[in-house]
Amino acid sequence: MFESKKYAPSEEFVRNSNLTKDQYEEMYKKSISDPEGFWGEQAERLTWFKKWDKVLEHDFANAKVEWFKGGKLNVAYNCLDRHLQTPAKNKAAIIWVGDKPGETRTYTYQQLHREVSLHANVLKRFGIKRGDRVLIYLPMIPELAIFALACTRIGAVHSVVFGGFSPESLQSRIDDAKPSLIVTSDAGFRGGRIIDMKKNIDEALQ
């Protein structure tokens, strides 16, 4: 039942790749020999509202590590907003395939930005603000990613819980996170069966 084979990529695939093997090896070596220089260089690819004062500050003896200290950015902005003034706004950001054959949804960056903004306002309407914790217990649907991005948009902390977890497993996650809000659905499909997600949440809360 065990077979070991190697399949080389096609020449066309190699030609169109972002990195050659040599470039990858060079980057890897730099990440080991000069982690601050390497990650500082990679961080320039993001949009920062305020640039960091120091790439890395660490005290391993006390298990304290801080990256990009003093820097400020927003995950949702980097995932979505910065693409809206480019041709990428009309490209697919999420291509979702459901549990049932033929069930698909596609969101461009522009469409996803709108959905994330709408969902962020829903969270705010429920009183969620920066620093609050939100627990997300959803099936594998686009709304899972949308709510996660909506949380990052307004500065809320989100905890994504696996959609197949039982009430007992949910209970420990809820106790740990102590969320101000739980986002779930009535039910979800997984492997052809229905998971009663709202019932699981209700039992966990009890």
How many other CB atoms sit within 10 Å of the CB of residue 159?
17
Structure confidence at residue 178 (pLDDT): 95
Alpha carbon separation from 85 to 6, 75, 81, 82, 109 (Å, rounded): 42, 17, 8, 7, 11
Structure confidence at residue 190 (pLDDT): 78
User: Comparing C-alpha atoms, which of 133, 156, 158 is closest to residue 144?
Assistant: 158
DSSP 62: G
The C-alpha atoms of residue 134 and residue 185 are separated, in whole angstroms, by 14
Structure confidence at residue 165 (pLDDT): 85
The C-alpha atoms of residue 118 and residue 188 are separated, in whole angstroms, by 22
Structure confidence at residue 188 (pLDDT): 87
pTM of the model: 0.84
Structure confidence at residue 156 (pLDDT): 97
The C-alpha atoms of residue 164 and residue 195 are separated, in whole angstroms, by 7
**For every one of its 206 residues, what pLDDT tens digit does the chain have, with 9 covering 90 and above?**
788 899 998 999 988 999 888 999 999 999 999 999 999 999 999 999 999 999 999 888 888 999 999 999 999 999 999 999 999 999 999 999 988 888 899 999 999 999 999 999 999 999 999 999 999 999 999 999 999 999 999 999 999 998 888 899 999 999 999 999 999 999 988 777 888 889 999 999 99
Q: Where are the alpha helices (DSSP H) in 84-141?
A: 109-125
Asked if residues 197 and 138 have their Cβ atoms less than 8 Å apart, the reply is yes
Tokens standing for residue 168: 């007992």
